[in-house]
Amino acid sequence: MRKSTLACIVALCLTATTAVAADAGMRDPMKPFSRVAEAPRSGVTMIVNAIFVSDRRRLAIINGQRVRVGESVGGARVTDIQSDHVTFSRSGKNYTLHLGERSGF
């Protein structure tokens, strides 16, 4: 098989894989996380995707959005980030979601 033919096949496979991933609703791993807070909405389903805790910083990925203590996501303010859970405040009430847990509040 010629090198140019092999290169075309590889390029087509990569293009098809990218299209399938986009159709499946997967996030582009090369696209940076948005730091823009969402507008407050009631009944928002929240899921803690990941938590990162170190001596210097604490952040969580919630609904695919990177947040730190004091920032908002889905209309709720993040009040605490621990290694296994995130605490939110919304309308004067506190909520705790554990890593991987999904909840609507």
pLDDT tens for residues 41-93? Answer: 456 788 899 999 999 999 999 988 999 999 999 889 999 999 999 999 988 89
Run of H or E including 50: strand 45-53
Q: How much is the pTM?
A: 0.58
| Distances in whole angstroms, Cα of residue 48 to Cα of each of 1, 17, 64, 68, 77 | 48, 27, 8, 13, 14
User: Which tokens go with 53?
Assistant: 């805790």
CA distance linking residue 105 with residue 94, whole number of Å: 10
Q: Are 35 and 66 in contact (CB under 8 A)?
A: yes
Run of H or E including 23: helix 3-23
